[in-house]
A and B are shown apart, each in its own frame.
Chain A
Amino acid sequence: MNKDNRQNRIDDYLLGRAGREERLEFEEEVTRNTELSNELAETELALAAIELAEDRALKTRLQKLESNLSAAAPDTTTASSNPEKQAKVVTIKSRRSNGSMKLFAYAAALLLVLAVGWWAMNNTGGFDAELLAMESFEPYQNITTGTVRGDGGLSAEAAAFADYDAGSFAAAEVKLAALATTNVNKFYLGQALLAQEKFAEASSVFIPLTQISDFPLAKEADYYKGLAFLGQHKVSEARNTLSKIASDTTHPMQQQAEKLLAKM
């Protein structure tokens, strides 16, 4: 074997281009062939050098970008130096009557109370609702029976759950949606949608499930409905749902709901 071919085999091996058989054969040959073994070690060292240098180049590029972004961030201290943005002193018109002013004051106070109430119900208190939803989401374990593993011809159901188990949620979504519309299949379809941050679609799947009293995963569906609300920034709905779960000590997702509420 000439040097070029040998190097090509080493490259294929190190860059993950070799098939399983080829890899095993190569590894076996390396144990017998000192020259090949040395060349592999030298190439690995060269690759480490290239990787480190380019890692640093990318890092420098992002650091430069970061310093540009930091510099471009709005500086509140400069606002006062802009004459157009400074407050002006204007003459206040004389009061026409005390009675109408009082009415205005009451109306303004009422509006303020309503606005504060609305804000308190819906504000995210400085957290990223969508992120928190994903942070708190763990796909529900596949507890369906009938998933056959190692079977050459997978049934549609087994194939859907195989994708689900593998974390291929986009593929699982398509396959689960095509299955018979049982409550269990819908529950896992909701999971696959949540995993892809399709919050609105997930909540429309979970809501009906929570209303089926004899569905064994209805309580779990309720928790995931709360996450889906949160992901859509429907903070007050999410709080309501999660508070009910957190106050029910027999609820299977009680602890998760409690933790999530604490973060909100």
Chain B
Amino acid sequence: MKTLNSDTQVQDKSTNDAALFEAIKGGRHELLDQLYQDHRAAFLTYAQRQLYATEADAADCFQDAVIAFYKNIVSGRLTDLTCGIRTYLFAIGKRLVYRKNQQRHREVPSDPDAGIGLGNDPADELDLSLLNRFEDDHRKAMLASALGKMGDVCKELLTLFYYHHYPIESIQNALNLSSPGATRIKKMRCLDKLKQILTPQS
């Protein structure tokens, strides 16, 4: 009887995973919240006990894992689910935790107040890497803020088309635009506007 229950649970789990995967693939990105809630507690326990992550780091990495999972689906890199969603998320999350642990380990000696280890030489490779990261973050912030300078409809239209890979007809329905043609023209104008914000001379 126990085996029968266990079989049923395994079956249910893979069926649920497949259904959730297909729904997300079909554009229901709001289901990421459910995905996060379903697997978050297990990952937090695992990352803290097995990978020595702090709770905050574990949660941060798991959020990034869910986003990476979603982006792999919409970009077409992940077309079929060949393992459980949890296995997939944990594999990404684990790599992110390792990277975070490594970063933390590397940042400690470069702390100028620490006065130990590699010292405060500005030419030190670790200090340069931190500087590079800061510059990269600055550029990222500049890029991310560009979309915020646009109107809500443009912002949503471009995001649905280029990020979530929605077809024009779905965008037309979602934004209540008059026709697919009008949606295409609107998309073109919005994109031109964004390009101008990013490279004003164009």
Contact = CB atoms under 8 A, between A and B. Distances in A.
Interface in A1-53: 3-4, 7, 11, 15-16, 38, 42-43, 45-53
Given A55-B67, A56-B144, A201-B7, A4 B82 contact: no
A52 B140 contact: yes
Interface string B1-23: 00100110011011000000000
Given A43-B195, A128-B45, A200-B6, A58 B32 contact: yes
Nearest to B7: A200
Given A15-B162, A50-B158, A53-B148, A196 B14 contact: yes
Contacts of B6: 199-200, 232-233
A126 B48 CA distance: 11
B130 interface: no
Chain B contact patch, size range: 35 or more
B33 interface: yes
Contacts of B82: 167-170, 195-196
Interface string B86-118: 110010000000000000000000000000000
Nearest to B193: A46
B46 A61 contact: no
Interface string B134-157: 000000100111111000000100
B163 A45 contact: no
Interface residues of A, number: 51
Given A45-B198, A66-B59, A58 B67 contact: yes
A168 B146 contact: no
B165 A15 contact: yes
B36 A62 contact: yes
Contacts of B140: 52
B122 interface: no
Contacts of A46: 158, 162, 191, 194-195, 198
Contact of B143 (A11, A43, A52, A232): A52
A50 B156 CA distance: 10
A11 B42 CA distance: 39
13 contacts: A48-B143, A49-B198, A55-B67, A58-B29, A58-B67, A59-B64, A62-B67, A69-B40, A131-B86, A134-B84, A196-B83, A197-B84, A200-B7
Interface of A: 3-4, 7, 11, 15-16, 38, 42-43, 45-56, 58-59, 61-63, 65-66, 69-70, 126-128, 131, 134-135, 167-171, 195-201, 232-233, 263
5 shortest A-B CB distances, which residue pairs? A53-B147, A52-B144, A62-B63, A49-B143, A54-B163
